[in-house]
Structure 1
Amino acid sequence: MQIDIQRNVEISLSKQIYQSIIDRIRSGLLQEGVQLPSVRDLSKQLGVSLVTVVKAYQELEKEGFITSIQGRGTFVKVKKSEEVDKKEETLSYDWQLSVQDYLPRSQFARFHLVPEKIHLSSSMIDPGLLPNRFLEQEVHKMLSNNPRILSQYGEIQGDAELRNAMHEYLKGFEVPTTPENILVTSGSQQGIDLVARTFVGPGDVVVMEAPTYPGAIDVFRGRGATILTVPVDKDGMRVDILQNLCDKHKPKIIYTIPTFHNPTGSVMTLKRRRQLLDIAQSIQSIIIEDDPCSEIYFDKKPPASIKSMDHHGHVIYLKGLSKTLAPGCRIGIVAATGSIFNRLLAAKANTDLGSPLLTQKSILPFINSKRMLDHLKKLRTALRIRRDLVLELLSQHSPDGVSWVIPQGGLNLWISLPSWLDSNHVLLEAKKQQLTFLPGSACFLVEQENNHLRVSYSYMNELLLHQGITILCNILHSEISSKKASGSSPYF
């Protein structure tokens, strides 16, 4: 079991060990019944004292994540409420536990595609709201006109026609770029990964928002980065706190989702965008501006992108088309300049030699057509209706002590529970009723705040949204009533 210990941060070593093991348990990388290394073996492996490991194990056992059996060892434990029926395994793969891996966590994958009927955990768009029939027709037409496309490789940088189309498309977001400075990726997630594998190594400092997109946390943790976090308020990343961090440390990367932030839905003000860019320029850092869905605004357009103000090549801009157009095509772009772009292109070549040509050609006729504009307009209307439905239901049925942020766009709604109520426990109860959401702990890296959750109103239709939010509110009523009746939190 690989645990990255960072000795130059303010978090105690025992806390780092504790958090790393929790991350692996919640990611499914350490499953029920798996034996953990002995205190002595782990302290030797990590180069820390026995007391440090003992303290971490004691805290894990106190929280119910592990159990120690005298004479046998320490094992991952699943609370009774988390237990599921398991088929008997006829084959043993225990030997695989001896093969070391370097995955510190992969929490987001657990909530991406789930078996529950009411799926509020992943910010995807209802397929019924996407232009499926038009894209189907275009694929048939393309294959009829050019049947050899299935036997052709595309350019590593991406199809030239698509890059030209994306150059025109990005003008609407005030993103200054050229087709030569656009790299087509297999979704925005690959864009994050390319930046990380190109520029981030063990010990490099990365600044992220807290909370933030779990998939980005997973990537940067996997690179062994020293991650520092900056809280988010209604106006986006707290740049005053960022400035204080940068006075003490020099981050190599600052990762931000300034527009309809995931998970909180906040929008960074234009003033803060300028301040963030000024900070990055002063310390020679790279900003990753992740822009998954700035097209989905409900009232007014969001402020201009940070990239639009970047004259010295500090901003790497990521734009995904998967959510708003064609998830099955997995198309995203990276816009960057100078040697940074050249190195990202080399990383793309090393990764997959280029994204599939078929999917790139499939969306090409749609991007800059009137159909795209009409599609986005209808999409904004449909998602606003669903957002309003969720807000109305929460206002009517949620118990006292529950609050939320009203998003002005995007796909998600961030809900805060009473401080003592763990959303992971609420999720266990929700799954029993075929409902799932994203627990807030997945969105925090260091000091996890468990009393938050994210629901995505974009994937389920109105009927299932109504059912899901009603179930969620009933569970919250039950948990809070139980707390009031006992006079103390059921978890302590």
Structure 2
Amino acid sequence: MSDSSSTEALLAILRRDLAGLAPGERLSSSRELIARHGVGPVTVSRAIAQLAAEGAVVTRPGSGTYAAPRQARAGAAAEDTSWQAIALSGHDRGPGATDPDAAPGEFGPSAPVPAGTIALSGGYLHENLQPTRALGAALARAARRPDAWHRAPAAGLAPLRAIFARQAGGAVAPEDVLVTGGGQGALSMLFRAIVAPGSPLLVESPTYPGALAAARAAGLRPVPVPTDDEGVRTDLLAEAFAMTGARLFYCQPTFHNPTGAVLAPERRRQVVDVARAAGAFLIEDDFARHLGHGRPVPRPLVADDRDGTVIHLTSLTKPASPSLRIGALIARGPVMRRLLEARRVDDFFIARPLQEAAVELLSTPAWDRHLRSLATALRERRAVLVDALSHEVPDWTPGLPQPSAGQTPAGGLHLWLRLPPALVDTAVTAAARDHGVAVDAGRHYFPAEPPTDRLRLNLAAAADLAELAEAARRLAVTARSLAGS
């Protein structure tokens, strides 16, 4: 008898035996099977391996082979994960927690976009705006380095830390920099490392929904601070600190997401002073530093901070590619030591090849050329989209938080729209998808009491200028369909 036929014959016998065993009951030992059925040890080993692969048995080295639970033998269709409801019941996501399935495309999975749909949603560049060739060349050069696969330092590669320090300016030193795996992971680390669960977190209203989700996952309680066309209202920020006793404020001073606002010059100093007076940290999310539309970009708040009040966060994913998961935190004093401790618990270090590729990319003239061409492209796209919307849906007002502002952003990836009173954001987003264009409902960006008359459009997600104009036309069709319903 051949080895394969012997194995099949033994499998048939063992399956009959297993049918009479209770889950967890021990199968005959290999020695017993060899003696009883007159087969060799290789045949027994192959048969047991096949049964284990099918989920019919569980092998425990040094102990034996046991009948698997009935669910495992029944296959995936019989899986029952209802027990997890009890296991997770002690960690409630909390009221208002962001539902990842309903969140905008830049945070969590969004619904599949049907073929032919024009994307004005999400938070990333279209592929044809990404520096694909420069990224490929940088990764290839990085891979050829002899130490490319060595373990990286916990704080990040020294050359990359130096680059991020130089970009921040002021007195920031490489020792103040911690390389991170993009911005979202850095936010999660910050919220868990700095304040205890149950603490209040002050946030601009509206704000980035990924920050709200990370805060709630860390057990924090987001408290909204209103904004206007010049950024967060510092008078109300001081009041919020006094009322809540908060020790952390999250903000986006430059090309704020979703509004595109830039914190006014006189408020930039005030916001740091208010946080310092409250004995609190200020997290400066500087995700859009490289997304200006050609105008000068204000210095980061951290560049002029001497007391360690500001914790600066930046990332390469927005100006380069969603898969370049490289960012940096800049912090001074004991808080940096705490962040390093969190790094050693979370993930030890960021993958060295990706860090090496970032060094290669940021050190070449190709990066500067990309940023210049990106600024031009974003400026052109903003102009085309604003013009098309003004013709197709003139009562959809692009602007900053104040109704009277009527401004368009000087940087960033987004337009923030106010809908006319008859329209509701979620109804518009659903109808727009039916008409072939994807946009983001504005309510996702508010930590509390969200208005229902806002939309956010990503001017960088469409393939080209023609798609932007066509998207505006489809939005006009959407508006007419809702008016007639």
Bin for the TM-score computed over the shorter chain: 0.7 to 0.9
> Who is 2:206 aligned against?
211
> Who is 1:36 aligned against?
none
Deviation at 1:433, TM superposition (A): 3.1
Q: TM-score, normalised by structure 1?
A: 0.75
Larger deviation, residues 194-203 vs 255-264 = 194-203
Larger deviation, residues 219-228 vs 209-218 = 219-228
Q: CA RMSD in A?
A: 2.1
Unaligned segments of structure 1, at least 5 residues: 1-88, 483-492
Matches of residues 460-471 of structure 1 in structure 2 within 5 Å? Answer: 460-461=462-463, 462-471=465-474
> Who is 1:361 aligned against?
356
Matches of residues 61-100 of structure 1 in structure 2 within 5 Å? Answer: 93=80, 95=82, 96-100=84-88
CA distance in structure 2 between the aligned counterparts of 1:401 and 1:120, rounded to whole angstroms? 15
Deviation string 1:304-362 (CA, Å, 9 cap, x unpaired) is 22112211100000011111123212000000000011101111111111111111101
| Secondary structure of the corresponding residue to residue 449 of structure 1 | coil
| Secondary structure of the corresponding residue to residue 206 of structure 1 | strand
CA distance in structure 2 between the aligned counterparts of 1:304 and 1:189, rounded to whole angstroms? 22
Q: Is the CA contact 1:439–1:453 (under 8 Å) kept in the aligned structure 2?
A: yes
CA distance in structure 2 between the aligned counterparts of 1:434 and 1:478, rounded to whole angstroms? 13
> Who is 1:56 aligned against?
none
User: Structure 1's 119 and 99: CA in aligned 2 closer, same or farther, altered over 3 A?
Assistant: farther
Deviation string 1:238-280 (CA, Å, 9 cap, x unpaired) is 1111122223232111110010000000110111111111111
Q: Does 1:167 align with 2:165?
A: yes
Q: Does 1:428 align with 2:430?
A: yes
Q: Does 1:185 align with 2:180?
A: yes
Deviation string 1:110-132 (CA, Å, 9 cap, x unpaired) is 42354213222212012222221
Q: Is the CA contact 1:156–1:349 (under 8 Å) kept in the aligned structure 2?
A: yes
Q: Does 1:277 align with 2:277?
A: no
Deviation at 1:423, TM superposition (A): 0.8
Match of 1:201 among 196, 199, 205: 196
Q: Is the CA contact 1:107–1:214 (under 8 Å) kept in the aligned structure 2?
A: no
CA distance in structure 1 between the aligned counterparts of 2:381 and 2:161, rounded to whole angstroms? 33
CA distance in structure 1 between the aligned counterparts of 2:138 and 2:211, rounded to whole angstroms? 33
Deviation at 1:188, TM superposition (A): 1.0
Deviation at 1:419, TM superposition (A): 3.9
CA distance in structure 1 between the aligned counterparts of 2:238 and 2:421, rounded to whole angstroms? 28
Q: Does 1:144 align with 2:147?
A: no
User: Structure 1's 401 and 370: CA in aligned 2 closer, same or farther, altered over 3 A?
Assistant: closer
Q: Is the CA contact 1:399–1:476 (under 8 Å) kept in the aligned structure 2?
A: no
Q: Is the CA contact 1:399–1:477 (under 8 Å) kept in the aligned structure 2?
A: no
Q: Is the CA contact 2:442–2:454 (under 8 Å) kept in the aligned structure 1?
A: yes
> Who is 2:338 aligned against?
343
User: Structure 1's 401 and 121: CA in aligned 2 closer, same or farther, altered over 3 A?
Assistant: closer
CA distance in structure 2 between the aligned counterparts of 1:403 and 1:297, rounded to whole angstroms? 18
> Who is 2:414 aligned against?
412
Q: Is the CA contact 1:107–1:442 (under 8 Å) kept in the aligned structure 2?
A: no
> Who is 1:374 aligned against?
369
| Secondary structure of the corresponding residue to residue 259 of structure 2 | coil
| Secondary structure of the corresponding residue to residue 377 of structure 1 | helix
Deviation at 1:223, TM superposition (A): 2.2
Deviation at 1:428, TM superposition (A): 1.4
Q: Does 1:437 align with 2:427?
A: no
Deviation at 1:167, TM superposition (A): 2.0
| Secondary structure of the corresponding residue to residue 301 of structure 1 | coil
CA distance in structure 2 between the aligned counterparts of 1:125 and 1:256, rounded to whole angstroms? 22
CA distance in structure 2 between the aligned counterparts of 1:139 and 1:246, rounded to whole angstroms? 45
| Secondary structure of the corresponding residue to residue 396 of structure 1 | helix
Deviation string 1:13-33 (CA, Å, 9 cap, x unpaired) is xxxxxxxxxxxxxxxxxxxxx
Deviation at 1:452, TM superposition (A): 0.6
Deviation at 1:91, TM superposition (A): 5.1
Q: Does 1:255 align with 2:250?
A: yes
Q: Is the CA contact 1:168–1:368 (under 8 Å) kept in the aligned structure 2?
A: no
User: Structure 1's 368 and 94: CA in aligned 2 closer, same or farther, altered over 3 A?
Assistant: closer
> Who is 2:226 aligned against?
231
Deviation at 1:299, TM superposition (A): 4.6
> Who is 2:6 aligned against?
none
CA distance in structure 2 between the aligned counterparts of 1:407 and 1:98, rounded to whole angstroms? 47
Q: Is the CA contact 2:398–2:415 (under 8 Å) kept in the aligned structure 1?
A: no
> Who is 2:93 aligned against?
103
> Who is 2:312 aligned against?
317
User: Structure 1's 145 and 255: CA in aligned 2 closer, same or farther, altered over 3 A?
Assistant: closer
Match of 2:390 among 370, 387, 395: 395
User: Structure 1's 326 and 399: CA in aligned 2 closer, same or farther, altered over 3 A?
Assistant: closer
CA distance in structure 1 between the aligned counterparts of 2:187 and 2:216, rounded to whole angstroms? 12
CA distance in structure 2 between the aligned counterparts of 1:402 and 1:326, rounded to whole angstroms? 30
1:456 partner amino acid: N
Q: Is the CA contact 1:169–1:367 (under 8 Å) kept in the aligned structure 2?
A: no
Deviation at 1:412, TM superposition (A): 0.6
> Who is 1:242 aligned against?
237
Q: Does 1:222 align with 2:217?
A: yes
Deviation at 1:481, TM superposition (A): 4.9
CA distance in structure 2 between the aligned counterparts of 1:326 and 1:403, rounded to whole angstroms? 27
User: Structure 1's 481 and 239: CA in aligned 2 closer, same or farther, altered over 3 A?
Assistant: farther
CA distance in structure 2 between the aligned counterparts of 1:312 and 1:225, rounded to whole angstroms? 25
Q: Is the CA contact 1:108–1:215 (under 8 Å) kept in the aligned structure 2?
A: no
Deviation at 1:467, TM superposition (A): 2.5
| Secondary structure of the corresponding residue to residue 353 of structure 2 | helix
User: Structure 1's 303 and 145: CA in aligned 2 closer, same or farther, altered over 3 A?
Assistant: closer
Q: Is the CA contact 2:294–2:379 (under 8 Å) kept in the aligned structure 1?
A: no
CA distance in structure 2 between the aligned counterparts of 1:137 and 1:469, rounded to whole angstroms? 37
User: Structure 1's 349 and 296: CA in aligned 2 closer, same or farther, altered over 3 A?
Assistant: same
User: Structure 1's 170 and 305: CA in aligned 2 closer, same or farther, altered over 3 A?
Assistant: closer
Deviation at 1:477, TM superposition (A): 3.1
CA distance in structure 2 between the aligned counterparts of 1:401 and 1:382, rounded to whole angstroms? 23
| Secondary structure of the corresponding residue to residue 439 of structure 2 | strand
Q: TM-score, normalised by structure 2?
A: 0.76
> Who is 2:118 aligned against?
118
| Secondary structure of the corresponding residue to residue 374 of structure 2 | helix
